[in-house]
Amino acid sequence: MAEEKSLNFIEEIIEAELAEGKHKSILTRFPPEPNGYLHIGHAKSICLNFGLAKKYGGKTNLRFDDTNPSTEETEYVESIKEDVKWLGFEWANELYASDYFDKLYAFAKQLIEKGLAYVDDSTSEEIAEQKGTPTTPGKRNRFAERTVAENLQLFEEMKAGKYEDGSKVLRAKIDMAAANMLMRDPIIYRIKHAHHHRTGDKWCIYPMYDFAHGQSDSIENITHSICTLEFIPHRELYDWFIQQLGIFPSHQYEFARLNMTYTVMSKRKLLQLVNEKYVSGWDDPRMPTISGMRRRGYTAESIREFCDKIGIARRENLIDIGLLEFCVREHLNKISLRRMVVFDPLKITLTNYTATEEMLSSENNPEDETAGIREIPFSKELYIEREDFMENPPKKFFRLCPGGMVRLKGAYIIKCNEVVKNAAGNIVELKCTYIPESKSGNDTSGIHVKSVMHWVSAKHAVPVELRLYDRLLTVENADAEEGNFKDYINPDSLQTITTAYAEPALLNAKFDERYQFLRKGYFCLDKSTGEEKMIFNRTVTLKDTWAKMNK
């Protein structure tokens, strides 16, 4: 029987609420700000929000939190939609906080009319100074004494474009002595003469996050508004606006954001990596972005599995990137087609092979019977991996050496008889013999060898380019180190191999297929593959250090 998973704390809350009939159904939202590409942290939030709705028969809105005109772009909106879909989720409605600008403006006027908001002409420095400190209360200034009529007129003039950026703000009138600093007359609207990606030049005042988020939730009747722990202090303000405006009571719940070793996870930092050309773009396969991981060959299934495995925490923690790689490897093992690719070729001539060539066959995936078989040409001249041969091997070297025997995967046992060197003394070829009775599947030779090696037929070999990736950062937690995270960028995070040869079955490689290059790792075709050469990304190595460590 499948192991029953215990409920996370949000599921417990939802089940209790559903049991007491508090909601007919639940509605969650995923609210990205379109100011960058989504990363694996967002995937966590997506899996949580969409996952809860799915589990409890509810729905999830995709809402673009586009209240800051200067950093947002349509390119990001498109990429976010693509990423959410690719992860396997469907939103009920595609919405934009900017669609609520009229409503939010009306809400602000309601607060003014209730005497709960005022226009303040102070500079941002003055406002900061008057705020007080966590231990001393703040002070209200004379602008807080403005009448309702005066505030309404000034706010309308702000909207009409009469004032310059930064010359006035609208503040909620709450409590300058509140223990929670965010309740000390927070700014709710500011003037910003900037073009907005959707509303164009209609507005020159924009609501602050706190004035937009909760109300947007409420307008949509969101039942569970889930965000990360740093928003805990904002909850009081979230509730205050909803209460003062008398609108649908959405509630905010907080969980720990995902942090992962050897990774930076804020869009601001990822943008620096892109702009300063540390990586080739948002979808560089080294990036922790969803598009980067997709290009690298990670599957949506494995990312969902990872998010499920790490669960929902209420305390900040740092997740081992090895766990993500473990999930990727587990899934790829099930779906990948096995292929042979020699990275650094060493030529072998089979001196006793008299046929010109023959077709052998091998299973595409031993984990999946339905994957079928492929044909692999075998001939007199082959390539093996240079590192699989040693002229003077140490004791426990079981691969090829002078006089030694190994099996070529899916083919025959071979014996090395002679090492051919060039004038410079480098090994350029091995003269070998093969054992005709040792054919895989029909081996009557009675010879036992300790190694099975991958190979390709020289005549049929397809040159391919390989890109191998390593961690982007050299330290587990760059945020905990001194200095800038860029001081810890791994200079060797990309290794390009241009010498590799693949078996001809890879000529039919498709972008949506995944491959295991025997003994070498999981690979996928990169989107930059051109006419001349196929380019493959190594998604992840075969070695499974995380699972071993944790068993």
Interface residues with ligand ATP (CB under 6 A) are 31-33, 41-42, 44-45, 65, 227-228, 257-258, 265-268
Closest CA to 547 of 309, 361, 372: 309
272 binds, among Mg ion, ligand ATP, none (CB under 5 to 8 A by kind): none
* 228 binds, options ligand ATP, Mg ion, none, Cβ within 5 to 8 A by partner type: ligand ATP
Contact indicator for 408, 518 with CB cutoff of 8 Å: no
CA angle 406, 412, 416 (to 5 degrees): 45
Interacting partner of 285 out of ligand ATP, Mg ion, none (Cβ under 5 to 8 A depending on kind): none
Q: Is 176 exposed, middle or buried (0-12, 13-18, 19+ CB in 10 A)?
A: middle
CA distance 527 to 291: 12
Q: Give the Cα separation of 442 and 347 in Å (integer).
A: 26
Q: Which pair of tokens denotes residue 80?
A: 């976010």
Q: How far apart are CA 533 and CA 506, in angstroms?
A: 12
Distance of closest approach, residue 47 Cβ to Mg ion, in angstroms: 18
Contact 292, 282 (CB under 8 A): yes
Nearer to Mg ion, 161 or 233 (CB): 233
The distance of closest approach from Cβ of residue 154 to ligand ATP in the complex, given in angstroms and rounded to an integer, is: 31
Q: Which CB atom, from 348 or from 473, has the smaller least distance to ligand ATP?
A: 473
Of 288 and 345, which has the nearer Cβ to ligand ATP? 288
Give the separation between CA 399 and CA 47, rounded to whole angstroms. 45
Active-site residue flag, 257: yes
Closest residue by beta carbon to ligand ATP: 41
Q: Quick one: what does residue 224 bind among Mg ion, ligand ATP, none, with the CB cut-off 5 to 8 Å set by partner type?
A: none
Least distance CB 33 / Mg ion (angstroms): 5
CB atoms inside a 10 Å sphere around CB 66: 28
The distance of closest approach from Cβ of residue 209 to ligand ATP in the complex, given in angstroms and rounded to an integer, is 9
d(CA 340, CA 470): 22
State the minimum distance, in angstroms, from the CB of residue 1 to Mg ion.
Answer: 42
The binding site for Mg ion (CB under 5 A) comprises 33
The nearer residue to ligand ATP, 227 or 245, going by C-beta atoms, is 227
Which residue from 498, 517, 521 is spatially nearest to 509, judged by alpha carbons?
517
> Which residue in 267, 286, 514, 538 is the catalytic one?
267
Closest CA relative to residue 288, chosen from 308, 317, 267, 272: 267
Residue 99 C-beta: closest distance to Mg ion, Å: 19
Q: Do the beta carbons of residue 433 and residue 439 sit within 8 Å?
A: no
Instruction: Return the number of the residue (210 or 465) whose C-beta is nearest ligand ATP.
Output: 210
Give CA–CA dist 412/415, Å, rounded. Answer: 10
283 binds, among ligand ATP, Mg ion, none (CB under 5 to 8 A by kind): none
Choice among 168, 184, 257, 269 that is catalytic? 257
171 is catalytic: no
Please say whether the dihedral angle defined by the alpha carbons of residues 154, 159, 165 and 170, taken in this order, is positive or negative: positive
Identified catalytic residue from 11, 33, 330, 367: 33
Report the partner that residue 31 touches, choosing among Mg ion, ligand ATP, none (CB closer than 5 to 8 A by kind): ligand ATP
Whole-number minimum distance, CB 233 to ligand ATP, in Å? 14
267 catalytic residue (yes or no): yes
480 contacts: CB under 8 Å, gap ≥ 6: none
Nearer to ligand ATP, 72 or 325 (CB): 72
Nearer to ligand ATP, 32 or 345 (CB): 32
Query: Would you say 515 and 509 are in contact if contact means Cβ atoms under 8 Å apart?
Result: yes
**Catalytic site positions:** 33, 257, 267
